[in-house]
Amino acid sequence: MLSCSYYTLALAFLGLVVIFLFLLNSLWGVLQAIRYILAPFFIPNEENASLAKRYGSWALITGSTDGIGKAYASELAKRGINTVLVSRNREKLENTAREIESKYSVKTKIIAADFSTGRKAIEVVKEEIGGIPIGILVNNVGQNYEYPMYLSEVPENDLWDIINLNVGAATMMCRTFIKEMEERGKGAIVNVSSGAELQPLPLMTVYAATKAYIRSFTNALRYEYGSSGLTIQHLTPFFVNTKMNKFSDKFQRTSLMVPDAEMYARYAVATLGKQDKSTGYWSHGIQSFFTELIPEWARMHVGGRMNEGIRREYIEKHKLKAA
């Protein structure tokens, strides 16, 4: 009888310890989540300076005259990083550079290069960079279909552009700058992928496949160069309100799940050097967590149905416009 109550007491005590640890862990999780959500709004001075100190004072961002790339460049400039802006349109580049310089008192350099030209664009970057030591390379440039389509409907030129921008540019820009980063023993590469990489995505088949390439490429690259002191980040945004999603009104409205590019970049830059793989945005992290609980075949099916819906809407809308 006595021993029975002893065991009951011991078990109750053990139970209390487990509950206490569970609550402590949950509280820690909640505090971490609050810290993560608020962090981008309170950038301590030492954190501002730390990116430049850790990686170097110059960053190069591809596709930086609009959307995520422009916002990311501005966020880096806010932290005192000088920026090399690379896009295809010189006038937009000049305007963006002026805006960044006047807001954040940093230096900028512009390079007009059209990544759809493949190796020619990489040669232009190499010629024009003029020995600037690139500490942070952000491979952001990318293209999607005009709207969800079956493979044979996508214009051939668009497919080449998507492959050249999403795969070719990221690969060859890494090849161009990684050696000198390795020699300096410091540097960061951010490869911008997409939630589309998580499963095959019908009606955006090639776009999703290029992003799966980025995931594989980036993770293997980290294995090759991580021990040389380089940060190689794989960034996977879900929907962000930019002109890339102009095929759907739903994704052209800013919401909790669809941030604008500025809000997205504010969070994404805050993850640099802290997370090797990140969605870059708190609500995208939640989306990613729940998405990955579903089997891949089911996700592909849901994605395909979603794209069929968007396609119908798009075709309907453009017919209406034509009428």
Ligand X SMILES: NC(=O)c1ccc[n+]([C@@H]2O[C@H](COP(=O)([O-])OP(=O)(O)OC[C@H]3O[C@@H](n4cnc5c(N)ncnc54)[C@H](OP(=O)(O)O)[C@@H]3O)[C@@H](O)[C@H]2O)c1
In the set 207, 225, 267, 314, the catalytic residue is 207
For residue 182, how many other CB atoms are within 10 A of its CB? 15
Site for ligand X in 147-206 (CB under 6 A): 165, 192, 194
Half-sphere exposure of 137 (CA within 13 A, CB side): 27
Residues 205-244 vs ligand X: string with x where CB under 6 A?
--------------------------------x-xx-xxx
Residue 69 binds ligand X, judged by CB under 6 A: yes
Instruction: Kindly tell me which residue out of 82, 83, 108, 116 binds ligand X, with binding defined by CB under 6 A.
Output: 116
Distance of alpha carbon 152 from alpha carbon 175, whole angstroms? 32
The span from the CA of 67 to the CA of 246, in Å, is 12
Phi, psi of 235 (to 5 degrees): -110, 125
CB of 296 to ligand X, least distance (A): 19
Give the nearer residue to ligand X in terms of CB position, either 52 or 314. 314
By CB under 6 A, the count of residues binding ligand X is 29
Task: Say whether residue 108 binds ligand X (CB under 6 A).
Answer: no
Between helices 170-184 and 119-128, what is the axis angle to 10°?
A: 30
Segments of the chain assigned E as strands:
58-62, 82-87, 108-112, 136-139, 187-192, 230-235, 277-278
Structure tokens at 92: 């937009």
Exposed/middle/buried for residue 10 (C-beta within 10 Å: 0-12, 13-18, 19+): exposed
Task: Answer yes or no: are the C-beta atoms of 113 and 127 closer than 8 Å.
Answer: no
Residue 281 interacts with ligand X (CB under 6 A): yes or no: no
Asked whether position 65 contacts ligand X by CB under 6 A, the answer is yes
262 binds ligand X (CB under 6 A): no
- Note whether 141 binds ligand X by CB under 6 A: yes
Span interacting with ligand X, options 109-117, 145-153, 225-233, 275-283, rule CB under 6 A? 109-117
Checking phi first, is residue 24 left (phi over 0); if not, alpha (psi -120 to 50) or beta? alpha
- Selected binder of ligand X within 94, 99, 101, 114 (CB under 6 A): 114
The first and second tokens of residue 52, run together, are: 């430049």
Residues between 76 and 95 with contacts to ligand X, criterion CB under 6 A: 87-89, 92
If we measure between CA atoms, which residue out of 97, 86, 162 comes closest to residue 125?
Answer: 86
| Closest approach of ligand X to the CB of residue 323, in Å | 28
**Any contact of residue 67 with ligand X (CB under 6 A)?**
yes
Interacting stretch for ligand X, rule CB under 6 A, among 9-17, 23-31, 67-75, 173-181?
67-75
If we measure between CA atoms, which residue out of 234, 231, 251, 235 comes closest to residue 243?
A: 251
**Binding piece for ligand X, criterion CB under 6 A, among 24-32, 112-120, 217-225, 300-308:** 112-120
Query: Catalytic residue at 207?
Result: yes
Residue 245 in the binding site for ligand X (CB under 6 A): yes
Active site amino acids: 207
- Residues that bind ligand X in the complex, under the rule CB under 6 A: 63-69, 87-89, 92, 114-116, 140-143, 165, 192, 194, 237, 239-240, 242-245, 261
